[in-house]
Every structure is written in C-alpha cells, then in structure tokens.
Amino acid sequence: MIQDGFSISDKAFAPGVSVEENLRRIRAAGFTHLHLAWKWTKPEPFTAEERAEWAEALAASGVRVQDVHGCHPRNVDLWSPEAKVREQALALFRDRIALTRAFGGDAVVYHVPWRGAVTREEIDFLLEGLAALEETAREHEVKIAIENHYIAGNDRRTLEAVFERFPADFIGFTFDPGHALISGNSEWLMAHCASRLEILHLNDNDTQKDRHWNPFDPEGHADWDAIAAFIRRSVYRKAPQLEVSWTPERHGEHGAFLEAAFQAAERIRALIQEA
C-alpha cells in the first residue's frame, strides 16, 4: 500500500511569494510532502543561506521533502562528450544527493539524454557517471531515479542499459506520464519499469507540449486508470506525487489551483486503491 499523505513539486509555487508562504499554501491545500526541484536548471548548488532558508521554511510549514529533482543546467550533463562538463555535472549531483538527505528525502531524479537520438557513447558516459556516484548515494542512503523524457528510443535504450548495469537498490525509475504522452512511450514504460518505480511526476498534457497540467484536466490525454494500475502493481510505496504548474490564465487564483491539484491527487489515490 502507498503511504498516507500527498506530495507536490515546488513547480506549483506562486512566483514572487516567499518559500515559506508557498509551503504554507500547499500544506493548507492538503499536501504533506514536497518534491524539491528548486534550482534544478541552475549551474550552481544551493548556497548556505538558501539551505538555511529552506530548512526554516520546511520546519515552519510542516511540509516534508519526499524526494528531489536532480540538476540539469543547460548543456551540463553526465553524458556530455567534454570531460570538464561531466565533472561539473558530477559535482552538482553529489551536492544534490547530500541536499536530499539533509532535507529528509530518499531519492534524486535524473533525466535520460533527450537532445536528439542518444548514442552509445552518451549512454556509456552516463553509466560511467552513475557508477562514480554510487558510493555517495549509498553513503547518504539516497537512490537515483532515471526519468523518461520526450524520445521513446532514448527511454528504451537508456533505461535498459542502466537497469542492466545497476541494481534496484541504487537505481530506480521516475515516471512522468506527461513526457510519455509526448514520446508515445507510455505502454512500454509501464510494462518494463514497475519493478524500479521510485518517483512520480504525475501531470497531464495535450500530447503536444510538456504543460504540467493537473491530472484529469479536460484537455489532457493521460490514461489515469492505466497509470493507477501501473502504480498499484509497482514497487512504489510513497505518497502520490504531482509535478504540476500554476498558470493563472488557465487555473485562476493560486489557492483554487492547489485545491484542484489536491482533489486530483485524491482521485489518483482512490484509483490506485481500486486497481
């Protein structure tokens, strides 16, 4: 059975509002946990001041970090052909693993390569980087969860190689149904990754763009019955988790958006229990 509570990404935060106020808002809406993505596109880690601000805000709001998004600054990846870039990506990743443990999370997301068709060399560089991170991850008791992206072939080749190389107690899977709608890869992912499911990025879209709509959006295309059945038969045991974003023009005021997100999360839990 999945654990009590509900989790949401900080991508749902309202801009121009303090971290603590945003956390208080998601807690008031019913969410007990957070998927921390803050600074995931930045080339530098949290500063000491930012860590302190987040620690205080989490304690004040009562929200707990469930897991964390890994760092993907522009063109800074573990699969880069440039050794210096790979070292930069490793340094960011090691810091993110330590941050995850410090904030109470248990896993970090990392994308499969997504810029064009993945090459064997890129997969080998990714495997090399993950191997270099294993000691740090195990020391902090944090798993790495590889996330599907926009190209079905990249998902399949990368995930197969990573799962073959590393055990499930080190490398898991992050399922993003929004990405899968764009790649057309939902069926394959749900058929092959249940035994590794570690992180959920639940969201919906129109199959054209990564819109991060709430689940069950009237214009969305995700098959939530199938997704719930996948989660039910998987090894996933944490709280249901959304990765959604607030668009005022679409969702109205922030509180209404968070309320709708929580209702969607409750529907997903009910479907998982029924599956």
pTM, two decimal places: 0.98
Report residue 224 as tokens: 């939530």
The domain 7-274 having CATH identifier 3.20.20.150: the answer here is: yes
Query: CB-side exposure of 132: number of CA atoms within 13 Å?
Result: 17
Q: What is the pLDDT of residue 1?
A: 82
**pLDDT average, residue stretch 37-51:** 98
Distances (CA, A) of 274 to 130, 212, 270: 37, 25, 6
Report residue 34 as tokens: 């957070």
State percent of the chain over pLDDT 90.
99
pLDDT band at 203 (very low <50, low <70, confident <90, very high): very high
Q: What is the pLDDT of residue 39?
A: 98
Residue 273's CB is within 10 A of a number of other CB atoms, namely 11
* pLDDT tens string 243-272: 999 999 999 999 999 999 999 999 999 999
Residues with Cβ within 8 Å of residue 13, at least 6 apart in sequence: 19, 22, 26, 246
* pLDDT tens string 119-167: 999 999 999 999 999 999 999 999 999 999 999 999 999 999 999 999 9
Q: What is the pLDDT of residue 275?
A: 75
Burial class (CB in 10 A: 0-12, 13-18, 19+), 71: buried
Dist. CA 126–CA 124, nearest whole Å: 5
**pLDDT average, residue stretch 14-22:** 98
